[in-house]
Structure 1
Amino acid sequence: MKVIVAGFPKTGTKSMHIALRELGYDVYDFVENFWYLGKDWNKILTEGGSVDDFKRMYEDVDAGVDAPIFFFWKEIHEAFPNSKIILTTRDEDSWFRSYRKQIEEINQNTMLRLLFVYSPLGRKFETFLLRLAQVVYATSWIKANTFSMKHSVNELVMRKLYRQHNADVTQNAPKDKLLVYNLKEGWEPLCKFLDKPVPDKQFPYANIGGKLFEELMQKHPVMQRMVKEAFVIISLLIGFGAFGLYKFFRLGPNLKHAILKLDPISKLTYFFSTIIP
């Protein structure tokens, strides 16, 4: 690990992901951490971990951004003491407005909820996000039912966590390894800190408007796999359901009446016996 982006989510971490890739770094964001290191992170988030764990996990990774890396910046730096630390910052009020808008987007994203139900990979991703919420943000997503997972935002707690995190990094990170950085400063301070040439292009800005998961489902291969899995499973369920109804309506009236009087488990047993004799 060469670069640890220790900034809180919604301080420009998605833009930093793109910028670091532009500068030649292999970058792990929260989706990459789930996909490549999900088993390790689930263990760390539930049981704990060690410096040796982080050394093994990130020995071939250049840079890390967003959750859960920002929360464990100190432990990762202990594993890679020569790595540089970037604390991305923004005005607290604008940060919280952006954070709250991101949560609203997640709560209102019907497709994301479908992935969490119908995609096997999506269900694993949901578990990962739930553990992140509980450990990293000291909060939880409220799952009202199978299809509805809501994340309520405690403004007082989130603002306190934001200030505490920024203070922890600025006070405890080695001064010669730390850059406190606002994306409005552009390429120059970032490239100077990383000893990289300044790209001949505008600094990238991503996740504007809080449409993170909508964009990920369109572009990220891991999220696209979840979408394909959900599409296949939903299509199969619709097909089985249509075939079962077709078989049901072809039955005589007495048999249909008898089936309707069955308990739900018996109905399902009969339904599947007609599809898979």
Structure 2
Amino acid sequence: MAQQPRIEVIGAGFGRTGTLSLCTALDKLGYKTHHMVRVTGIPEQVSGWLQASRDRDAGRPIDWAPVHTGYTAAVDWPNAAFYKEILAANPGAKVILTVRDFDAWYESVLNTIYAIAAARAKIRVPWFLRRKYQSSVLDTRAMQEGIIWHGTFESRFEDKEFARKVYEDHIAEVKRVVPQGQLLEFSVKEGWGPLCAFLGKPVPQDEPFPNVNDTAEFQWRVEKVKGLGEKLDRQGLAGNAGIAAVAVAGAAAALVGLLRRRS
């Protein structure tokens, strides 16, 4: 196993609790922060998290080098789903639990990352294009579904009350698992003060706390994923029609040849 990277700060909060704002803030404080935006569509990251999931399920040690090399902080999904394993590998790390009002969080997830997942789930990649789209569509979908939607939410995210229980149970578990003094429960609305005090960093002067609202970008990405699905559907139909046409032509030619031989 390769030398394991050292993570100093772990974000245990679910995605859409201000994790991208936290990621940006940590980078400004001198960390190099891992986030889902560093994963999606990057083959080495996607395969690394798929392997981490398999290793955890099998009770094997997780090799963090493929996903965390070069990083000193790790927030958002998929990290939040592995916060206990990351903490075990980095027992001195500080843990930040980002929190948000559940109803606001649920609507945000439903209209952003879950909407993308739902659009991606409908994509059917023609067999002759699978190699081209293996990482960007198929493996990314398998990774996100396995860790988040089928894993954390047991394929029941659309059941709001079930999702509420998962969300609240996660918060309670983090508070129970992380040693006292190593955990900060944090809303990004609180700004630099509590975060910098917890991390022992000076408050950036004349710099507002990052407020990264990427809902519009997510909506654009939803439409982009839907467009890709429609494009692949057309390519699949065209490809299958072409293959069928070749097969019919071949069968016709064979039949003509047989009839000529018989005549």
Distance, in Å, in 2 between the alignment partners of 1:179 and 1:268 is 64
Q: Residue 266 of structure 1 is aligned with which of 244, 251, 254?
A: 244
Higher relative contact order (CA 8 A, sep 6+): 2
**Which of 159-168 and 203-212 deviates more?**
203-212
Deviation at 1:205, TM superposition (A): 1.6
1:10 and 1:98 in contact (8 A); partners too: yes
Residues 196-241 of structure 1 show CA distances to partners (whole Å, capped at 9, x for unaligned) of 22123111122343643736999xxxx9xxx9xx7xx97xx69xx7
2:106 corresponds in structure 1 to 96
1:26 and 1:61 in contact (8 A); partners too: yes
Deviation at 1:165, TM superposition (A): 0.2
2:19 and 2:98 in contact (8 A); partners too: yes
Amino acid at match of 2:52: I
Count of matched residue pairs: 227
Indicate yes or no: 2:45 matched with 1:37.
yes
Q: Residue 160 of structure 1 is aligned with which of 165, 174, 182?
A: 165
Query: TM-score, normalised to structure 1's length?
Result: 0.67
Distance, in Å, in 2 between the alignment partners of 1:268 and 1:194 is 66
Indicate yes or no: 2:137 matched with 1:122.
yes
C-alpha change, 1:22 and 1:123, in structure 2 (3 Å) is same
Indicate yes or no: 2:20 matched with 1:14.
yes
**Structure 2 counterpart SS, 1:71:** helix
Residues 84-106 of structure 1 show CA distances to partners (whole Å, capped at 9, x for unaligned) of 10000112222222222225642
**Which of 74-83 and 90-99 deviates more?**
90-99
**Structure 2 counterpart SS, 1:179:** strand
Distance, in Å, in 2 between the alignment partners of 1:68 and 1:80 is 17
Q: Residue 92 of structure 2 is aligned with which of 82, 104, 110?
A: 82
Deviation at 1:47, TM superposition (A): 4.8
Distance, in Å, in 1 between the alignment partners of 2:91 and 2:178 is 11
Indicate yes or no: 2:178 matched with 1:173.
yes
- Once the two structures are aligned, what percentage of the paired residues are identical? 30
Deviation at 1:264, TM superposition (A): 7.1
Amino acid at match of 2:38: E
Q: Residue 81 of structure 2 is aligned with which of 68, 71, 86?
A: 71
Amino acid at match of 1:70: A
2:68 corresponds in structure 1 to 58
Distance, in Å, in 2 between the alignment partners of 1:18 and 1:205 is 9
Residues 233-258 of structure 1 show CA distances to partners (whole Å, capped at 9, x for unaligned) of 97xx69xx7xx9xxxxxxxxxxxxxx
Gaps of 5+ in 2: 1-6, 250-263
C-alpha change, 1:135 and 1:209, in structure 2 (3 Å) is same
Gaps of 5+ in 1: 141-151, 245-262, 272-277
C-alpha change, 1:11 and 1:116, in structure 2 (3 Å) is farther
